[in-house]
């Protein structure tokens, strides 16, 4: 630990990839402390999307430390990720004009479909460049990119995985870890969640709880972003030499590319 806060606090590292998060205890107090959280956290706290923000302060080394209330609870199970409650919270986030305004105010990154394609193509290995299925999918995505670019950007979490959903002991649902927050097509978040956690014959039901009209245009956007996300995952797993995971990505890409009835109720 290379920083100090008020005397009397004891800091205990908690799970996470960045090594920036701690449980802080002092007497009977307990807080969740994190270095250099997004300044967007204050708006999320006010809206009840994340646990309540208690204070923010700059510490000796220049880092900004945030303190949130410590909530006892658990992450959601895979089955719970397909629940109406998750769909409703995501819908509330995506449709919040207040959150969109606040993220733009603190310099939230705008991510466009063209940028995602550029990210995939940058330093792409020859193995993936020459892969027949991946090449065909990339060509399809490029042919549709202008249509995808006409959608108004909304607040998106960007890392919608199960580990970032907290159900408190009081049965309150929160979405945490907003370091990847961006302004983009909400189909980015939706496609990631549907592909990972919702059976394909339940996609329409889930979207009804998300509270949106299930149009052909929305279906196309969800499939576009699903394909884009899995291309990026394929590239990442190839770079990390996680070939088993890469092959699973490619199988999912094939299923998405060839699938015709994902949105039909069975």
Q: Which residues are the active-site residues?
A: 159
Where do the H-state alpha helices sit in the chain? 41-46, 84-94, 97-105, 113-121, 126-129, 132-148, 187-197, 203-209, 216-239, 243-258
Taking the alpha carbons of 168, 103, 43, 27 in that order, is the dihedral positive or negative?
positive
**Distance from C-alpha of 1 to C-alpha of 21, rounded to nearest angstrom:** 11
Contact 192, 228 (CB under 8 A): no
DSSP label at 110? B
Contact 138, 120 (CB under 8 A): yes
């Amino acid at each position: 630990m290379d920083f100090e806060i008020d005397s009397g606090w004891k800091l205990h590292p908690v799970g996470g990839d960045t090594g920036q998060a701690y449980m802080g205890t002092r007497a009977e107090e307990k807080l969740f402390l994190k270095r250099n959280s997004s300044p967007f956290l204050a708006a999320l706290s006010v809206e009840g999307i994340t646990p309540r923000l208690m204070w923010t302060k700059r510490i000796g080394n220049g880092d900004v430390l945030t303190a949130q209330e410590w909530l006892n609870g658990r992450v959601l199970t895979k089955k719970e990720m397909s629940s109406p409650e998750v769909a409703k919270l995501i819908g509330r986030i995506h449709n919040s004009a207040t959150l969109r305004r606040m993220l733009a105010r603190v310099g939230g990154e705008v991510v466009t479909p063209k940028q995602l394609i550029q990210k995939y193509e940058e330093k792409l290995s020859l193995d993936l460049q020459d892969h027949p299925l991946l090449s065909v999918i990339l060509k399809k995505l490029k042919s549709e990119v202008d249509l995808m670019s006409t959608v108004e950007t909304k607040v998106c979490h960007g890392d919608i995985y199960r580990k970032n959903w907290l159900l408190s002991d009081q049965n309150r649902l929160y979405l945490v870890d907003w370091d990847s927050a961006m302004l983009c097509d909400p189909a980015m978040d939706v496609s990631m969640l549907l592909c990972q956690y919702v059976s394909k014959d339940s996609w329409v039901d889930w979207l009804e709880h998300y509270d949106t009209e299930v149009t052909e245009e929305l279906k196309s956007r969800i499939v576009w972003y699903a394909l884009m996300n899995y291309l990026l995952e394929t590239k990442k797993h190839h770079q990390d030499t996680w070939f088993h995971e890469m092959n699973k990505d490619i199988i999912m890409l094939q299923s998405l590319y060839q699938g015709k009835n994902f949105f039909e109720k069975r």
